[in-house]
Structure 1
Amino acid sequence: MQPERRDDRPARKGGADGVSDPLTGRVLDRRYEIGVRIARGGMAGVYEATDLRLDRTVAVKVMHPGLGDDNEFAERFVREARSAARLSHPNVVAVYDQGDDDGTVFLAMELISGHTLRDVIRKESPMQPARALALLEPVLSALAAAHRSGLIHRDVKPENVLIADDGRVKVADFGLAKAVSADTHHTATGGVLIGTVSYLAPELVVSGRADARADVYAAGVVLFELLTGTKPHEGESPIQVAYQHVHTDVPAPSTLVPGLPAYVDALVARATARDRELRPADAAVLLHQVHRVSHALAEGVVDDPELTADLLPTRLRSEAAEAPSADDTAPEPFDRGALATMAVPAAAAAEPTTLLRTVARPPAGPPPSEPPADGPRGRRSRKGLVLLLATLLLVVGGGAAAWWFLDGRYTTTPGVLGKTEQAAVKALAAAGLEAEVGDPAYSETVPAGRVVASDPEPGSRVIDGGTVEITMSLGKERYDVPKLATMTEEEARDALEATHLAYGGTTEKWSDTVPFGQVISSTPKAGTTLKPDTPVDLAVSKGPRPVELKDWVGKDVDDAMQWLDSKGLTGKVAKEEFSDDVAEGDIISMNPPGGTTVHRGDEVSFVVSKGPELIEVPSVRGQGVDAATETLEDLGFHVVTESAAGSLGLGFVFSQDPEGGSMAPVGATITLSLI
């Protein structure tokens, strides 16, 4: 009866034990590229993988080699996919796909980065009741969704509750789930007991039969563990623990953690009652009770005798034979006294004791001699016989009327789920019922054009000739990601909402082509088909990437123009100026100046040097030195004199350098040779 180790949950564990695994690097079904192994259980291993088709990271659970040859194991593995895929709930690990790649049977599911509730228990328990209930609430919400779908988990335990890094709580491993209506079950003695022994409901140990209340029991044990940090039943072997589940009540948490409110003890006692008739009918009922207790804790209520009495299963035991209570999870529609009153007419019920006493107790002593038939005693006998017959007729007639009122005029709604509309109408007509087609609805499990629900539900009692409303399936609800590129972020979010998809988040990126504030792309990309409310992330443009200008002053303008063009900037020569300091063709100044941050498309202007300004040198040959010097200096030239060869000392200009008529910059030196 030792259960297999089941830590094959789709949560990142951070290890790299899959490095040497032969599956690592393999691509299953030409879609899932297997990475490192992150967990291993008795039936399967779990790997981090990449969905190559949708470009996302997933968890892939792969059945151990050889088990796929066992039809029972393989069928159970496939049932896990179908069971979990039927559940679309924020607190259930989503199953995306199931397949068989050349004998390798696998599931693709949501990958949760985080830790398990077991890790939280190790670190935080015993914890405050409000914290414990806050952790349990999303678990019950997930189980309630499963129970509404006709599924039970069968292996609720802290290891199967995943807590993502962002705080989301997810219930994993519906591999042992099965339809509540299924006729197969396991026993503790004649078959295989599935589940973890510390959380097994007593009925699972005794007979192996499980319904939603087995999950309720396991959730109650988890709550006990959150509150106390220990399991309620311990033993040296699994058999000893299982025995205690059957024969010993779960102790009150306050016996280990004094000071807990009595109504918290009562909640645990109600959820873990050994008699499953005293437990909440399913996780939805337990969730309602958790909300009541959470509200009392939030209000600071130390003791609430009324709430405690409502929750304690002992009260239900004492009242079950008399009248159902408001919290009774499976009340009888009538108690025995009320049913008897309705079955016997009022006239007959007026003196039931006298009638019974007259019939059952004849006078003592020897029987009297029979009077004449027409005497007083004869008349009284006939009158009594008539009264007895009338009373019996009234009783029979009243019973028949009560039967007709309570049961005879009713028929059972036939099961039409999964049928076509025509077949459903025909089946209802055969049962004496009329069909009315209501609004269609989407379904993850029922193909389009088939009945997905009926009201009343199959098996319900309905008046003969009544109407049953059937809901036809539209198939799986899916929507395509709209084309969001070039929209503003607000427009894109409105478009996602209109398409029944959810906005995930925004990442800003530089773009040379998409203007600032507009959507560049989406993840998943446009045209991808998704479930409703699937988050879609947006990449929004921050405009062109900024550029820091180089300082081009004193450098060649052609080189500057080429660099600006490579950066997507525009260069412009604003004007050209003479410069005695900057060579012709080099940059005198720029706007914006070097070191400024600009964006693609911006313009940078330059002032470019034409070199120094040149003027014509006049001829001063034959002039006296003073006159020649004055003429040249007035034009801005610098004059230097020297004696010519063979000078006579007359002081007249014999020659000049540069010669007259040539061009020279202002400030240039003119050398005069004197004779």
Structure 2
Amino acid sequence: MTMTQMGDPLIGHVLDGRYEVTDRVARGGMATVYLATDQRLTRTVAVKVMQEGLGADEDFVAKFDREARSAARLSHPNVVSVFDQGHDGDRPYIVMEHIAGGTLRQLMNRAGVLEPLRALELIEPVLAALAAAHEAGIVHRDVKPENVLITDRGQLKVADFGLARAISAQTITANQGLLIGTVSYLPPELVLHGRATPRSDVYSAGVVLFEMLTGSKPHTGDTPIQVAWAHVHNDIEPPSQRLDTSWRHTRTAIPPYLDALVQSATRREPTQRPADARGLLAAVREARAALGSGVMDDPALTARFRSLAPFDGADDRTQAFDRPTQVRDTQVRDTPVRPAPVRPARPPRPATPVHTPLSPSVPWAERSTDRATPVPIGPPPEPGRTALLPAQPDEPRAPSSPSRHRRELVERQRRRRRRGWIWLVLLTLLVLLAAATGWWFAEGRFTAAPTVAGMTQAQASDAVRQAALQPRTTERFSEDVPAGAVIGTEPAGGSRLERDSALTLVVSKGPERFEAPEVVGSSLDDARSAIESASLKVGKISERWDEKAKKGTVLSADPKAGSSLKRDSTVNLAVSKGPEPIKIGDWVGKGAEEARDALTEKGFKINEKTANSDSVPKDRVISQDPESGTAFRGDTITIVRSLGPELVQIPEVKTKSVDEATKLLKEAGFKVESKPGPQYLGLGYVMSVEPTESGKAPKGSTITLLLV
């Protein structure tokens, strides 16, 4: 809630003990609209409360009450309903239906330029609501996109009949002296004369339709008064002139009959518009039906829309134009009428004697014989009047040569006139034939290709035949159009074609799908070829070690084989890098058991051998094969475990001389030392040797001789 709403004293107030105000929706020049809860019926409503300080103004209170009564008279699905009226202290209010949604203005701002069919769909319920109001004797007077609400379910409702009033009312200004109605949609008669009729709402609705079709208002200016006078002095142009598209090339363009409909609704002269919204509604429905059937050019419909409202003299502005004429008629009636002078009747001319020659030198003589002579009959005529009757025919005369000559002359003239008429008729027929032939070759032999997108094949074929074309079909995959429905035509809808020519219907085969091939176990090159042959693409390729698959073999595919995919979809592959190389390590000199356990854990097989070593202690590794580097899991690693130095049997040297004993021990591979024994007598013989425990000693070790 904004700071302004938090400071509004009506927030949280219960009007008339029934309507709890919960939030403020909008604020206008005369009243504020709040969101409220009807505590009696437990429903959300919109409450329109007069602005503070205006309740003491009797004119404003009267206008506010008149608004409620006028709006309450309307009961229509496309009109915002009025539920209640009352006063909370000195605050008059009305309770209306709450519409959860947006406005037509918001929709127009988002969409920009609307397609003609969509614009007609939106304006139709607006005109239906206005038609109901006009039939109830109410003029809205403020038709604009902001006053058209759209529910969450897409239903349109006309709101704010606060400026509406009975048709018999004559005032257009509020107490502030401002024009009622938004200036961009204001009809000229409100600016000039201050009187609104149903044709005023027709004008405003026509401007709304113009704005939906073009995305812009017909008149603009720096100030409201400039816009208002533009409505008075400038005709509204055809909507199609604001757009770059042509109805000959696309169905989304504005056809000529829709231009004519908008211009008829927005003519500056009220009598040249439809009499009320009902008349405009009928025309909109007819235009919508034609556009929905794919008709982009209908000269008869265009001509009919150009004259939707013949002059009927009922408009206020028209009556104003008639007043000077009425004055002139009165002046003529009040002027005394002078009777026409009575001309004396001429006596009948005596018949020409048979023997009297008709001289060609007297040109009027022949004509005078056939002329009717005014003859007075009966009583004398009244002053100012003259009674005329054709002269009685002359007495029969005997045929004469001059009479035959005259009759022949007259007969020749009659034949000449007949021939002239015949030639005129023939010339007229030739002109009409030439015009028809020119029309046929220029326009008549052509027709517009209907727009059939979304129809079934049978419906589209019927529409094509109705347009005097021959349907042909071709199939094409489509991600958006279900199988069997028509995607479009070739050429496109709205194209200009000769009658009876072929129009190809492009029928959807549904989404195009390809089956992912089986590539696991094959080489990468073979897998790539198989995927591309299936109209797919190889995507990300990952590699991993595998003990069984050799390098370059496909281990897995994502998506899996058999999956249904769009054209050019990617298939990700996992490819084997072969067995993983494992580092062996250098185990020489280390414990044989430790080496065996570590290599076994890495997945190697161990071939253990033993050998004596004078330099490597027992149970340590003398050598390994391979000596270092890497090998693969399951490979055999040979290690040689040390058995320690080689043991050699110590020769029996007891009782032998020192020299002999030394010789024998060195031959056996020992080193020899000697020292006096415990019972040394200096005889030079060996009493015993050390060590003596096992009788053996490591080869190369030192044997000590104990002498006696």
Q: Report the TM-score, using the length of structure 2 for normalisation.
A: 0.44
Greater C-alpha Rg: 2
TM-score, length-scaled by structure 1? 0.46
